[in-house]
Amino acid sequence: INAEYGGKDVRMCHLKFPDKLSRDKAFDFISAFGFPWGSSNSHINSSTIASRMFCTSYAQSSPLIPQDRDGWYIYDREAEFRRFGVPSQFWRWTKINNEFKYCESY
């Protein structure tokens, strides 16, 4: 049994299953993880799946930013860019939008 899935980025995924039951189980499983709060599957407990997902289960044990420190200064964008090899012959630093006059939203 073949199944095709079209993603929102227009890529297609082709899956082959030995029988209809296997295909239906896989569909239910993928639906439950893809839509944990809105899955219409009756035999898969979506709230249990949602509670096991990292985005809903992670709890920070202590704050990453001390109370007396401004969080804007924790991240060093220039150090991060250097780590990725910027500036280079293709990239350079600019201050054209430092005060958001060139583009208000960026």
pLDDT in tens, 53-98: 666 667 777 667 777 777 777 788 888 888 888 877 888 888 888 8
State the Cα–Cα distance between residues 55 and 60, nearest whole angstrom. Answer: 12
DSSP 26-61: HHHHHHHHHSTTT---SSS-HHHHHHHSHHHH---S
Cα gap 10→52, rounded to integer Å: 29
Q: Quick one: which H or E segment has residue 5?
A: strand 2-6
Q: Is the pTM of this model over 0.75?
A: no
